[in-house]
Structure 1
Amino acid sequence: MPNGTPSQIRSIDNLYGPDGKLEAVLNTGRDDAPYSALVCHPYPPAGGTMHNKVVYNAMKVFSSLGLPVLRFNFRGTGLSEGVFDNGHGEQNDVRAALSWLEHNLKRPILFAGFSFGSHVGLRACCGDVRVKGLIGLGLPVHADGRDYTYGFLPKCIEPKLFLSGDHDPFGSRAAVEAVLEQAPAPKQMVWVEGADHFFQGVPGSPAPKLDVMRREMDMWLRSEFGLS
């Protein structure tokens, strides 16, 4: 971490959503950090947790810029209380996490979510005055028989970055770009060449692309919010 002590990770024992306690961890940041960050994980029934590789790498970008970063498990995931609610109740879990950050860290908030976590988190964060920037990673449109709709996007006036692999089976270029037409500026869409939904490589370009994802996030955050 620049200009300060190394980031440390600590368990959070007082984050409660409407259905009970939510398992959470905080990567600490610089004392003078201008923002805090929240990162949300992918689809729980498919094994998504706050320790997912894409979520971890997104956290590392925020942490490398000195920001404190909160990750948590949605209801019914890991040690979090409650039962999976197909993305409905999970929006209130996100709002509980935002309130925890507001109360405990007292800074404006930047959000990033991956896959299911991007859809649920964007729904909860769009238009929330506490949230100053939004990052959607692997934005899903259709996955395993589930359709993800984005009628809420017109109220997302905050700066937005969207990052997806150009071989993402859950969000094709045509489908995602059609969705993002609804979103007002400022917005940026980056297609990571040779990457699948999880920013892993594909035949012909097998190397993982998580480093590309991290680099694009870092550049956008530095440019949009003056972070260093």
Structure 2
Amino acid sequence: MNIHSHKFTLDGHAGKMQCLLDLPDSAPRGIALVAHPHPLYGGTMENKVAQTLARTFVTLGYAAARFNFRGVGESEGVHDEGRGEVDDMEIMYNHMVEQYPGLPVALTGFSFGTFVQAQFALRLAEQGRPAERLALVGTAAGKWAMPAVPQDTILIHGELDDTIFLKDVFEWARPLDIPVAVIPGADHFFHRKLGHIKNLVVQLWRRDN
């Protein structure tokens, strides 16, 4: 599948947001919003896991949009510990549903991006426009106060993650009764394991939807 990428800019609450849109060959069947890892530790929308998630959703027929959080790349502002990042995600959401009206919206992210997307999912639900589904990789349990997420959320974690410990993810997911797909031998950044992320998301999304 060919992926058509387009750069664009949005006006965020703290200034310009540097954005990237990946499109499938045919008309998209949905929208996917991708959130990258922590900006103070080198996280950008070009992070390999964030890229993998965007391309995975394009494979599933979605228009995949991502942006650099505040203070990253050409995005203006300073890191806001997740609060402003959720506000900016809503700006991206509103832009995408205006461009592609009537399509379901999936939320996906990696590491700190899972914290942003879980909070944003709560906001959308409270507004009466819930996300279609979430796919979270390297979920930030134990690092940030992860809220509850819907039971159909896809959770993927590396067995050897020493940044966000697997046991913390289990403790968070256990009362929610959500399975965690564990990739054996994978570290936090899934070096040489990115293909497993794509395969798992595609299989679980298509099988369950």
**TM-based fold match above 0.5:** yes
Distance 1:31 1:212 in 2: 25
Where in structure 2 are the equivalents of 1:1-40 lying within 5 Å?
Answer: 1=1, 6-13=2-9, 15-40=10-35
Q: Which of residues 110, 114, 122 in structure 2 aligns to 1:114?
A: 110
Q: Which of residues 183, 196, 211 in structure 1 aligns to 2:187?
A: 196
Where in structure 2 are the equivalents of 1:71-86 lying within 5 Å?
Answer: 71-86=66-81
Structure 2 residue matching 1:54: 3-state secondary structure: helix
Alignment partner of 1:178 is 2:171: yes
Give the alignment's TM-score, normalised by structure 2: 0.90
Q: Which of residues 148, 159, 177 in structure 1 aligns to 2:152?
A: 159
Q: Partner of 1:203 in structure 2?
A: none
Q: Partner of 1:214 in structure 2?
A: 198
**Deviation at 1:162?**
0.6
Distance 2:48 2:62 in 1: 19
The amino acid of 1:95's aligned partner reads: E
Structure 1 residue matching 2:52: 3-state secondary structure: helix
Q: Which of residues 60, 66, 72 in structure 2 aligns to 1:65?
A: 60
Query: For 1:120-148, what per-residue CA distance to the aligned partner results, in whole angstroms no more than 9, with x for missing partners?
Result: 11111236224111011111234xxxx31
Find runs of 4+ consecutive structure 1 residues off by over 6 angstroms: none
Q: Which moved more, 1:62-71 or 1:123-132?
A: 123-132
Structure 2 residue matching 1:131: 3-state secondary structure: coil
Query: For 1:79-118, what per-residue CA distance to the aligned partner results, in whole angstroms no more than 9, with x for missing partners?
Result: 0111111222111111111111111112111111000011
Q: Contact conserved, 1:12 with 1:23, CA < 8 A, in 2?
A: yes
Distance 2:154 2:100 in 1: 24
Structure 1: where are the runs of 5+ without partners?
201-207
Q: Partner of 1:137 in structure 2?
A: 137
Q: Tell which structure's C-alpha radius of gyration is larger.
A: 1
Percentage identity across aligned positions? 29
**Deviation at 1:31?**
4.5
**Deviation at 1:198?**
0.7
Superposition RMSD in Å: 1.7
Give the alignment's TM-score, normalised by structure 1: 0.83
Structure 2: where are the runs of 5+ without partners?
none
Distance 2:197 2:153 in 1: 15
